[in-house]
Structure 1
């Protein structure tokens, strides 16, 4: 998983308050796929759960949910729910017995995993009718094309682990899911949220590549964030000191991939 999320001092509150949320339609699509697979809703595991946004939503439809993250700081700030338990752990070693899990999820996280090891663990813990749901979203864009261009240039100037980020840029199309599961279904969504320029600045400050810049040269990542903040503000015609109350829409293209094993389904529990 992304190492900076696990570092002491990581701002989990900023992460939780500025990241995109997922539409109800996405969760309904997952539950519909589980029903088609003949699955149950006893136990779900949310891997790379972060602040628990997805974990607690899953608790609305499952008897029990386990949230796993490499970051104790993230889990210390994770949303509580009576049917949710959180554990520090890794995607490649899930805390569940063989054939006991109905759903494994990974929201904006799978590209950080050792994917072959993760899929082996999924196959180990899933019931025959179990399902894997992984999803990702691309870099944000705006209604204003100039602001979008500045934001894209900023994103692509940062020192990402491009081997992993390219998986996101290509909407997980280059991940060989069919080598691990024989049923693969893809769904596309658009994430939409109203935000403001200050929240946008706080959001980009949580990016792993910004933290990497600061690690390499103190304050470098923050300076880059300030620079793109100014470019986006000017592109939108917002004057200095007049950012309060100025709202705009932020969009992300989101891809959901659902996985199941039809052969195992026919074997029964």
Structure 2
């Protein structure tokens, strides 16, 4: 993972506070796929590029042991702060070097992170650690979809236009737009699920949604290249446009605004 857009204690803290948890339906579908070939107690899962543990913690009740791995020390610190399960742990390390013995892991997950990896090295390492019939689950999600009266699509377009028209996203992020179709998977047994059935709806405020946007790599990259004052200027202008489109006069932190993240899921299985 050559790019380091998610480092820093402050960034990791806001990431932990505002990045969504995956929907339970996505976890259930992943486990159903795994159970088609792997029976008995589930021993070990690893969540790669775990960030502050959004998926890692969710897997804890399904496996004897779960490890979250991330290249960022700050992200791992945040994950450890909020983890309560004794069977879930975290380790700083690259996606391409996993601390497991051969054929010792039933499930490898990566949420909103696989586009940053060195794919040949990552999948070679995953193939080494997976048991026969073990599963790789890759998922990612859309930009926030504000559920506001009849303006949901218009508001979402404002967000997308801001993301790609003003911020500075690396080329890898566009793999999400194509549902990871450009990623060369290591196995032939593949399921791709990319309809609107997987989503998380956040009951928050407009300010909560804006804070999630601050965790984007494109936001952080713009700040690194142009400075904090510059990124705050374009972000404040965006927020003014957004609130104007909503037709409200209150402040973002005062406005209750449900918003959704829509997910896609790619599952692939190691041959037995």
**Residues 1:220 and 2:230 are matched in the alignment:** yes
- The answer for the alignment partner of 1:3 in structure 2 is 4
**Residues 1:35 and 2:35 are matched in the alignment:** yes
Q: In the aligned structure 1, how far is the partner of 2:202 from the partner of 2:6?
A: 23
SS at match of 1:94: coil
Which one of the candidate residues 171, 181, 190 is aligned to 1:173? 181
Q: In the aligned structure 2, how far is the partner of 1:148 from the partner of 1:53?
A: 23
Q: Indicate the larger mover: 72-81 or 34-43.
A: 34-43
- The answer for the alignment partner of 2:264 in structure 1 is 255
1:236 shift after superposition: 1.0
Contact 1:147–1:231 at 8 Å: present in 2 too? no
- The answer for the alignment partner of 1:70 in structure 2 is 71
Contact 2:144–2:209 at 8 Å: present in 1 too? no
Gaps of 5+ in 2: none
SS at match of 1:30: helix
SS at match of 1:93: coil
1:176 shift after superposition: 2.4
Q: In the aligned structure 2, how far is the partner of 1:171 from the partner of 1:226?
A: 30
Contact 1:136–1:255 at 8 Å: present in 2 too? yes
1:240 shift after superposition: 4.4
- The answer for the alignment partner of 1:57 in structure 2 is 58
Q: In the aligned structure 2, how far is the partner of 1:120 from the partner of 1:93?
A: 10
TM-score between the two structures when normalised by the length of structure 2: 0.89
Q: Indicate the larger mover: 245-254 or 110-119.
A: 245-254
The structure-2 alpha-carbon separation of the partners of 1:190 and 1:121, relative to structure 1 and needing over 3 Å to count, comes to same
1:119-198 superposed matches below 5 A: 119-143=123-147, 144=151, 145-157=153-165, 158-162=167-171, 164-177=172-185, 180-188=186-194, 189-198=198-207
Q: In the aligned structure 1, how far is the partner of 2:188 from the partner of 2:156?
A: 38
TM-score between the two structures when normalised by the length of structure 1: 0.90
- Deviation per residue, 1:166-200 (Å, 9 max, x gap): 110111122222xx112101223233222211112
1:65 shift after superposition: 0.6
- The answer for the alignment partner of 1:92 in structure 2 is 96
Q: In the aligned structure 2, how far is the partner of 1:213 from the partner of 1:244?
A: 24
SS at match of 1:172: coil
Contact 2:119–2:184 at 8 Å: present in 1 too? no
Q: In the aligned structure 2, how far is the partner of 1:99 from the partner of 1:62?
A: 16
1:16 shift after superposition: 1.3
- Deviation per residue, 1:52-105 (Å, 9 max, x gap): 121111111000011101111111111322001211001101110111111100
